[in-house]
Chains A and B, each alone.
Chain A
Amino acid sequence: MRSDTVVELKGITKAFPGVVANKDIDFELNRGEVHALLGENGAGKTTLMNILSGLLRPDDGEIRIFGKPVSFRSPREAISLGIGMVHQQFLLVPSLSVVENIVLGHKEEGFIPNLRNVEKKIKTLSENYNLEIEPRAKVWQLSAGEKQRVEILKALYREAQVLILDEPTSVLAPQEAEGLINALREMTSEGHLSVVFVSHKLPEVTAVSDRITVLRRGRVVAAMENDNVDYAVLSNVMVGRELQKSVSPRRREKGGILLEVEDLVVPDDRGVPAVDGVSFTLSEGEILGIAGVAGNGQKELGEALIGLRSATRGRVIFCGKEITDITPRQAIEKKIGFIPEEPLTIGLAGGLSVADNLILDTYRSSRFLRKGLLDYNKIEGFSRGIVDTHGIKTPDLGLQVGHLSGGNVQRLILGRELSRDLKLLVANHPTKGLDVGAADFVWEKLISLGEEGVGIILISEDLEEIQTLSNRIAVMYEGELVGVEESGRVDRKKIGLLMMGVGKEE
């Protein structure tokens, strides 16, 4: 491997109102390497990469590509210099096909693109790099893993020499993540492509990268070669304090039955059954882990339980009463909490302030009212409490939630839901996008809720999370629950296979 520098960032600084997201950052990417960018939530990783990909302009600092200083005015200019970015949130047009998405914005195709030729090229690329895809499928039909492949192919198709992946594994099942890591290794082995791999998962970072740069609060706090890196040391520099994995699975006495779900059928947005005849029971204080690749009906199941979606068949019984057709407000009154998969779409209002969002579910309660009007002194006190206990990084309580970083949004919704007195919590990927420190905090919180007798339905793709926390584990595949088992007896490989639809009939 030659070690000439492909990308050089020098003294990059970028401030948003109230926060300095990047402060005097130096970063180098060599030809053919995978360079991991590690950092906890809000550390400024996405901001830095948005600057490199031309989506944001730095306040200060220099970008050099192949030694030449550049100043991007738009992503188009970055793309033309061979920089492709796969965003944390996919930037694909759902109603267009894979091919159409790939030629989108690509000038070389001419006014009437020959999609058949493009298709052929895509096939070759996808065979070379093991990125299997059906070029004619519409993007809305694809799974998260497939969408990611489209994003990567899109960059490769433009002959990207630098591929930036922002938290690429957060949407993938374990096997898919492994597949991605192998594909990345293959792609970089020839030395044409260099990769920036943004993440806060230590194991995958050490598995995939050649070098690691760690950001904390907008600054580079460490940069190292990836050999014999000690997790403890790494997580230490990342969060700036010692982490103790104190969480361990618990055996506990079963309480009474809290929730019974019988033969539930729930349609998705298109009216097709996404949950297809699901039955289970949940006891007080029990944590039921539901593993599965996103898009197998978990989201719809969760939404049906809290009244956001109505079931077309089946019953839900909670504390002995049927709640199949409740409204979200009734669910809140019945002490059911909900952590949605995408908090900014459901659950939080991006245009409202942090404080407003924190009382969105309980603003009617008398503790926030004075003579029937909202009392902002009380609301601020309450919000300040949650912001402090959950370490939500925000310059002030009036900031619009849409401007928080991904992880801080997650902390906000967790903080709000866990601040209520709950009997049942439906938690959808509760630690998605959280760094180790914050995830640990959430895990402990969930376990202690369980000990207090709160029943928890934990929907997650993170097997470690599911195994650590759950008393029982089920896998959801194509709308059905397959293989419900006590967590002690499950091996991870088998769950992984069930998630991929293998070994369902046994």
Chain B
Amino acid sequence: MGDFFVLALSAGTPFILASLGEIFSQKSGVLNIGIEGMMLIGALAGFSVAHHSGSPWIGLVGGVIAGSLAGLIHGFLSITLMAPQVISGMALTIFGFGITSFLGKPFLGLPATSFETSILGVTPPVIIALALIPLSVFILTKTRFGIHIRAVGEYPEAADSAGVNVSLIRYLCVLIGGGMAGLSGAYLSLAYSPMWREGMTAGRGWIALSLVFFSMRKPIFALLGAIFFGALWILQFKLQGLGFGVSPYLLMMIPYASTILVLSLLSSERIRGRIGVPEALGKPYLR
């Protein structure tokens, strides 16, 4: 059982990282559905930086930087140019897949420069992910930056009139979102399944996105959800191995089906009001 938990936690770590980042972005009012693309970019960047530098740690940093730059594209399109956020996020996903498939060719089949240590049976990035949870809670609830994030996502006019730089806060949050997605991707290619493969995120970005809605943007719930989806992810292979009668496709479907369910629930105004969806989510701000 303990073993299974460790497996589920390791499989859930990409969800933790990416959804934490997306929570920042959405709390500030920017919906970024391009997580999958940013993760892929982070995965390849992490892999290649680690490969060239010889250090998985520098690889992780590379993943964060590449993810943030990818996030910056979305920020520029949606905050500065006020493009529709869903379309811009979609474009980011497609772009991420395309560019990593192209640039990743030389790395196919190479072994990753991976982590050699493990702590309590998990790789170091897992610990980082766990540590980021309380840190995020602290930032969001106790710091000036956190108050500004919530204000900007809820009522940008009010924040603006109080002297908060709405665009700046949103840019920072989108950068955080991208950086965390990049870290999540780099964890995959450097620690979880150490290698580079085209489209290796295999839909995890979308699950992370659904987790954000699921968790009502609360980091603690995101953690629980991430472990739960991590467990499902593991189970799907275990059951396959046991030759169980359940089609793995059915299991793989669960996260997506639950996303549809949650999203349809969320479209009701009443529920939106109750769980505190940021009022200005997805809406560009123009003074």
**For B285, what are the chain A residues with a Cβ–Cβ distance below 8 Å?**
none
* A269 interfacial contact with B, CB 8 Å: yes
**For B145, what are the chain A residues with a Cβ–Cβ distance below 8 Å?**
111
Measured CA separation A103–B155 after assembly (Å): 15
| Contact pattern, A 78-94, Cβ under 8 Å of B = 1, otherwise 0 | 01100001010011111
Q: Which residue of A lies closest to B272 (CB)?
A: A269
Among A94, A105, A111, point to the contact of B143 (Cβ < 8 A): A111
The answer to whether A270 and B155 touch across the interface, beta carbons within 8 angstroms, is no
B169 CB to nearest chain A CB (Å) = 10
**For A75, what are the chain B residues with a Cβ–Cβ distance below 8 Å?**
160-163
Task: Please report which residues of chain A, range 100-133, place their CB below 8 angstroms from some CB of chain B when the two chains form the complex.
Answer: 100-101, 103-106, 109-113
* B111 interfacial contact with A, CB 8 Å: no
Among A74, A113, A154, point to the contact of B144 (Cβ < 8 A): A113
Among B158, B163, B269, point to the contact of A93 (Cβ < 8 A): B158
Task: Please report which residues of chain B, range 143-168, place their CB below 8 angstroms from some CB of chain A when the two chains form the complex.
Answer: 143-145, 147-148, 150-151, 154-155, 157-165
Point out residues on B near A: beta carbons under 8 Å: 142-145, 147-148, 150-151, 154-155, 157-165, 269-270, 273-274, 276, 279, 287
The answer to whether A76 and B143 touch across the interface, beta carbons within 8 angstroms, is no
| Contact pattern, A 286-312, Cβ under 8 Å of B = 1, otherwise 0 | 000000000000000000000000000
Q: How many residues of A contact B (CB 8 A)?
A: 31
Q: Which residue of A lies closest to B287 (CB)?
A: A55
Chain A interface, >50% SS class: loop
Q: List 30 A-B contacts (CB under 8 A).
A: A55-B161, A55-B287, A74-B163, A75-B161, A75-B162, A75-B163, A76-B163, A87-B161, A91-B158, A91-B161, A91-B162, A92-B158, A93-B150, A93-B151, A93-B159, A94-B154, A96-B150, A100-B151, A103-B144, A104-B148, A104-B162, A105-B162, A105-B163, A105-B164, A106-B162, A106-B163, A113-B144, A270-B273, A270-B274, A271-B274
**For B155, what are the chain A residues with a Cβ–Cβ distance below 8 Å?**
91-94
Measured CA separation A95–B29 after assembly (Å): 14
The answer to whether B164 and A104 touch across the interface, beta carbons within 8 angstroms, is yes
**For B273, what are the chain A residues with a Cβ–Cβ distance below 8 Å?**
269-270
Among A79, A80, A91, A270, point to the contact of B157 (Cβ < 8 A): A91
Measured CA separation A92–B154 after assembly (Å): 10
Measured CA separation A96–B151 after assembly (Å): 8
The answer to whether B147 and A100 touch across the interface, beta carbons within 8 angstroms, is yes
Interface centre among B151, B155, B160, B163 (most CB of A within 10 A): B163
The answer to whether B161 and A95 touch across the interface, beta carbons within 8 angstroms, is no
4 smallest beta-carbon distances between A and B, as pairs = A76-B163, A105-B162, A105-B163, A91-B158
Among B142, B159, B270, B287, point to the contact of A105 (Cβ < 8 A): B159
The answer to whether B147 and A103 touch across the interface, beta carbons within 8 angstroms, is yes
Known A94-B155, A103-B144, A269-B273; further 13 A-B contacts with Cβ < 8 A: A55-B161, A75-B160, A85-B161, A91-B155, A91-B157, A93-B159, A96-B150, A104-B162, A110-B144, A111-B143, A112-B142, A154-B162, A270-B274
**For A112, what are the chain B residues with a Cβ–Cβ distance below 8 Å?**
142-144
B129 CB to nearest chain A CB (Å) = 23
Interface centre among B147, B151, B154, B279 (most CB of A within 10 A): B147
Given contacts A76-B163, A105-B164, contact A95 B270 (CB under 8 A): no
Measured CA separation A58–B251 after assembly (Å): 62
Measured CA separation A372–B124 after assembly (Å): 68
**For A103, what are the chain B residues with a Cβ–Cβ distance below 8 Å?**
144, 147
**For A94, what are the chain B residues with a Cβ–Cβ distance below 8 Å?**
154-155, 279
Task: Please report which residues of chain A, range 255-276, place their CB below 8 angstroms from some CB of chain B when the two chains form the complex.
Answer: 269-271
**For B147, what are the chain A residues with a Cβ–Cβ distance below 8 Å?**
96, 100, 103-104, 113
A113 CB to nearest chain B CB (Å) = 5
B178 CB to nearest chain A CB (Å) = 22
Interface centre among B145, B148, B151, B279 (most CB of A within 10 A): B151
Measured CA separation A94–B148 after assembly (Å): 13
Q: Which residue of A lies closest to B154 (CB)?
A: A93
| Contact pattern, A 207-245, Cβ under 8 Å of B = 1, otherwise 0 | 000000000000000000000000000000000000000
The answer to whether A79 and B287 touch across the interface, beta carbons within 8 angstroms, is no
The answer to whether A104 and B151 touch across the interface, beta carbons within 8 angstroms, is yes
Measured CA separation A74–B166 after assembly (Å): 12
Interface centre among B155, B165, B279 (most CB of A within 10 A): B155
Measured CA separation A92–B160 after assembly (Å): 11
**For B143, what are the chain A residues with a Cβ–Cβ distance below 8 Å?**
111-113
The answer to whether B162 and A95 touch across the interface, beta carbons within 8 angstroms, is no
Measured CA separation A470–B155 after assembly (Å): 38
Measured CA separation A154–B159 after assembly (Å): 12
**For B161, what are the chain A residues with a Cβ–Cβ distance below 8 Å?**
53, 55, 75, 85, 87, 91
Q: Which residue of B lies closest to A109 (CB)?
A: B144
B29 CB to nearest chain A CB (Å) = 12
Interface centre among A80, A85, A111 (most CB of B within 10 A): A111
**For A90, what are the chain B residues with a Cβ–Cβ distance below 8 Å?**
158
The answer to whether A271 and B162 touch across the interface, beta carbons within 8 angstroms, is no
The answer to whether B163 and A95 touch across the interface, beta carbons within 8 angstroms, is no
Q: Which residue of B lies closest to A267 (CB)?
A: B270
The answer to whether A96 and B154 touch across the interface, beta carbons within 8 angstroms, is yes
